[in-house]
Structure 1
Amino acid sequence: MTAEIVSKDLSSEKSHNDEGIREYTRDPETFMGEKPSDGTMTRVSTRASDFAIPDGTFWGWMCVFSYFMTSFICWGGNTAFSIYLSNYLEHNTFNASAVDYATIGGLAFGVGFVFAPVNTYLVGITSANFVVFFGGLLQFVALFTSSYCKEIWQLYLSQGVLMGFGLALVSTPIPAIVPQWFDKYRSRVLLLGSGGTGLGGIMFNLAIQKIIEEWGVAWARRIQSFVVIVVCTVCSLLIRTRDEKIKPEFKAIDTQILFSFPFMVMLLWLVFTMLAYVTTQYSMTNSTVALGYSASQGSITIVLFNVGVLIGRPSTGVFSDKFGPVTVSACIYFFSSLLCFAMWIPARNLATMYAFGLLVGFITGFVFGAVPAIVPRIVGLRKLQAAYGMAWVILGASGVVSPVIGLALRKDKVEPGQYTWVAMFAGLGFFMSGFCALVLRAYIIAKDKLTGFKNSDRGEHSQIKVPMGMIIENLLTVKHKKKV
């Protein structure tokens, strides 16, 4: 009986590089034989159905909506810590040092992400829906109990540690799900989703400042806690995945990815970006106050920062889809470095600080939507969850230490130049971030040339060895056949 073969040829694909010829053979497990009723054998490639990304659909957009709302409630709400921080410092609420408060803010931002691989594994054995709901529940408990704290160690545990784990559990699963639903407009929708941080930052900073003035800090935290649990519960019910088609891996640690050159460069990019980003974000209010303005006027700086986030992330997503997330990242963070040196350091009036807050908010938060768009370009969609979880470890650890570094670098005397060293640190961090993005871009361009511009979502060539010479040659490459 004659066998009919309906699929791509299974012959090896050959790629040539400076070190010789390397053969790549597709995994036979991705093909399955099916026996039709007429007795003929048909071999069907599951790759086509697995990676036929729909670019939308109802459930795809529900995932984007959930990403937007969890960004709104988690990261947007977390920016309000600068308001609490300013209040604690002004009234010496817990008889603690500024470093204590900064450490708590850092713990809330990043301690849970140090355990992000465990979160990834938890998603694998339960579901993204459960993990998001559980994270919302932890945030509710953290915020509600923090309203009754009397000692600084209690605030460390509630607002710091517990809040950090809640943020991580809510924030880890959804950004890794959205790329399963979008291909052509992937960066755009990811940055649209992460743009919820901006709206949340605007609303929470304005509302919490008003609530504190009228009813005090305790009630501000209680109200925030109830808003968090309601939003997270709704979002946990709206999430849908395409795991049955993509077959993602939920390894806590994937050493094959962890020690690869492009992933290590991406981790360096994350370290420098987060050190600069969090230091800048947490310093804006007090930096404005140091110029001689009130805490209320200082709070407007962080509000404008969040206005920039709200408008900027979807806008930069459009450019990211057109030119590629890595290319746009390099441009954005080189420009962010320039803003720190040219605006923040010489700033001596309210208008300059407001303009700086708006501009830096517009571009610096690009990292949060860019990571889930860049990772598939390096390792493919199947390993996205594992790679994303490991990346969050570095992102979280950087977030923990950033506020402490910011306070340590500021001068003791309250004066216009109090935050000069902080601004210099942020500027250098953004510059190194741009450089790392440039190296990662050169690597991807070189890999594309070696593999014949294959679809990176499939991850077929994620472990190809790219000669360092080719990476250096492509550092300043401007035009490329495929967006990077």
Structure 2
Amino acid sequence: MSSQNISEYEKDVIENRPDGEKTFEQTTFPELKQVASNALSRITSHLSTRDIVDPGPPPDGGLKAWTQVAMGFVVCFCTWGYINSFGVFQTYYTETLGESQSTISWVGSVQLWIVFFVSAFSGRALDAGLFIPTFLIGSIVQIIGIFMTSLCKNFWQLVLAQGLCTGLGSGIFFCPTIGLVTTYFRRNRGVAVAIVSSGNSLGGAIYPVIVRQLLPEIGYAWTVRVLGFVNVGLLSLALAFMRPRLPPRKAGPVVEWRAFREVPYVFVLLGMSLVFGGLFFSYYYIASFGRTILDMSYKDSLTLLIIFNGAAVPVRLVTGFIADRFMGPLNAMVPLLFINALFAFTWIAVKSESGMYVFATFYGFSAGAFQCLFPTTVTSLNNDLSKNGVRMGMAFSLFSFAGLAGPPIGGALLTTNGGGRGGYLVAQICLGVLTGVGACLMYAARVYKVGWSWKIKC
């Protein structure tokens, strides 16, 4: 065998053979295992950040930093944008599978739950210096889930493919992505996170547009596959440009029990759990309300979801900037939640298609405004930055169960009070109450932390 045709992996074996033989063909199985071990070490070293030297303080700007923000936006588009568009599937599955709305909502709820729950642990991959392999694995799992969804024929297949598999993949790479972006910023962190999170809303508007246009033309299976191809392209782009800035660091505990002794932190967790428990009822059922109560066409009902998600894009950016520069995230969060609760109650008064379009616009504004603030709100309660990761993970875990239970419970409420508009009335009241109580708990956290004065930034 010519030396020019011998790979470096073959040389690993040939140059260390104890018997002096210099042909690769005579390599034994233990020596092949050594080749595999050496190759794996090279790949892991190449993909990890173990060789990165600590670069010091965050650059807070520059081409590379803002590139990470742009790619983080793409990731949120492909993860939470896809999740926030579940309303298009909620309506379609209810009509084609013959299942109740509460039953169908379990598909989206399982997806939502597992994204939050897995994110509580996957963020540690960034700390371990394994962002790139984690991102790659998560992307593959998510894409498999989307393409398997296109083959589903019944409810339980959808739970496994769209709920479990797609949610698992998204959860694997979502949290490390957000964590990576925040390492590039300090002063402008709120603005950066707001830009990234606006991908949620834009994705939640674009995916329904794709479904609305393609479903009547090419059918369900190929429409879902198109969504999968969109994610393949966008996630490949993100993988090509996202790069960790910091070297690996020692991971802390999964749970910091001392945090539960801090009243502001506990109040924020409870308040946001109530808010998230009700919030996703809106994402899942706003199109269904237009279809079943207002007798809108399927395409027009999807327009409601598009408006609801799209309206949140600009307001997320403005909210992040104001919170960063003037108020602080908790100060901004409290009034926005009270406004959102007020809009939730106004849903009760909607009687026409035009009124529904107006409601979707303003409720989308208010819902998008506060969502970009909850990561920075959680971290603002803690003075020890080294504990931000574990505390955010704890928050994600708690929110996951609220997201799991909220939409199915909301769907079950639709069958009460005679069903129809009466059922929606009960669900809408519960949505407003949950958001209002959550806002009160957030306000209590703010008062406990800094007192009654609104002049203190927090």
TM-score bucket of the superposed structures, by smaller chain: 0.7 to 0.9
- Is 1:477 equivalent to 2:453 in the alignment? yes
State the 1:79 CA deviation.
2.5
State the 1:117 CA deviation.
3.2
For 1:148 and 1:176, locate their aligned partners in 2 and report how far apart those are by CA, in whole Å. Answer: 34
- Judged with a 3 Å threshold, the aligned counterparts in structure 2 of structure 1 residues 242 and 383 are, in CA distance, closer, same or farther, namely farther
Aligned length: 401
State the 1:338 CA deviation.
0.8
For 2:399 and 2:448, locate their aligned partners in 1 and report how far apart those are by CA, in whole Å. Answer: 22
- Is 1:425 equivalent to 2:430 in the alignment? yes
Aligned equivalent of 1:26: none
Paired AA for residue 72 in structure 1? F
Aligned equivalent of 1:66: 71
Of the three residues 332, 337, 340, the one matched with 2:336 is 332
For 1:414 and 1:143, locate their aligned partners in 2 and report how far apart those are by CA, in whole Å. Answer: 33
Greater share of residues in helix? 2
Does the aligned pair in 2 maintain the 1:117–1:253 contact within 8 Å? no
Residue ranges of structure 1 left out of the alignment (5+ in a row): 1-48, 446-473
- Judged with a 3 Å threshold, the aligned counterparts in structure 2 of structure 1 residues 133 and 443 are, in CA distance, closer, same or farther, namely farther
Paired AA for residue 455 in structure 2? K
Does the aligned pair in 2 maintain the 1:276–1:402 contact within 8 Å? yes
Of the three residues 260, 265, 268, the one matched with 1:266 is 268
- Judged with a 3 Å threshold, the aligned counterparts in structure 2 of structure 1 residues 172 and 367 are, in CA distance, closer, same or farther, namely farther
Residue ranges of structure 2 left out of the alignment (5+ in a row): 1-53
- Is 1:401 equivalent to 2:405 in the alignment? yes
Q: Give me the TM-score of the superposition, normalised by structure 2.
A: 0.82
Of the three residues 134, 139, 142, the one matched with 2:142 is 139
- Judged with a 3 Å threshold, the aligned counterparts in structure 2 of structure 1 residues 123 and 238 are, in CA distance, closer, same or farther, namely same
Aligned equivalent of 1:353: 356
For 2:56 and 2:435, locate their aligned partners in 1 and report how far apart those are by CA, in whole Å. Answer: 35
Matched residue SS, 1:56: coil
Does the aligned pair in 2 maintain the 1:116–1:390 contact within 8 Å? no
Paired AA for residue 102 in structure 2? V
Q: Which aligned pairs between 1:194-343 and structure 2 lie closer than 5 A?
A: 194-244=197-247, 249-289=251-291, 290-321=293-324, 322-341=326-345, 343=346
Deviations, residues 77-114 of structure 1 (Å, cap 9, x unaligned): 2233211221111222xx43333211011011122422
CA RMSD, Structure 1 to Structure 2 (Å): 2.2
Matched residue SS, 2:373: helix
Does the aligned pair in 2 maintain the 1:176–1:372 contact within 8 Å? no
Does the aligned pair in 2 maintain the 1:79–1:205 contact within 8 Å? no
- Judged with a 3 Å threshold, the aligned counterparts in structure 2 of structure 1 residues 121 and 327 are, in CA distance, closer, same or farther, namely same
- Is 1:90 equivalent to 2:95 in the alignment? yes
- Judged with a 3 Å threshold, the aligned counterparts in structure 2 of structure 1 residues 257 and 236 are, in CA distance, closer, same or farther, namely farther
For 1:61 and 1:250, locate their aligned partners in 2 and report how far apart those are by CA, in whole Å. Answer: 29
State the 1:178 CA deviation.
2.7
State the 1:249 CA deviation.
4.0
Paired AA for residue 253 in structure 1? V
Matched residue SS, 1:96: coil
State the 1:152 CA deviation.
2.2
State the 1:417 CA deviation.
4.3
- Judged with a 3 Å threshold, the aligned counterparts in structure 2 of structure 1 residues 238 and 442 are, in CA distance, closer, same or farther, namely farther
Aligned equivalent of 1:108: 111
State the 1:242 CA deviation.
3.8
For 1:251 and 1:119, locate their aligned partners in 2 and report how far apart those are by CA, in whole Å. Answer: 13
Deviations, residues 26-80 of structure 1 (Å, cap 9, x unaligned): xxxxxxxxxxxxxxxxxxxxxxx98744321222212211221111111112233
Q: Which aligned pairs between 1:16-35 and structure 2 lie closer than 5 A?
A: none
Greater share of residues in strand? 1
- Judged with a 3 Å threshold, the aligned counterparts in structure 2 of structure 1 residues 395 and 149 are, in CA distance, closer, same or farther, namely same
Does the aligned pair in 1 maintain the 2:102–2:410 contact within 8 Å? no
For 1:78 and 1:178, locate their aligned partners in 2 and report how far apart those are by CA, in whole Å. Answer: 21
Does the aligned pair in 1 maintain the 2:128–2:250 contact within 8 Å? no
Does the aligned pair in 2 maintain the 1:113–1:393 contact within 8 Å? yes
Aligned identity (percent) is: 23
Does the aligned pair in 2 maintain the 1:124–1:250 contact within 8 Å? no
For 1:405 and 1:186, locate their aligned partners in 2 and report how far apart those are by CA, in whole Å. Answer: 36
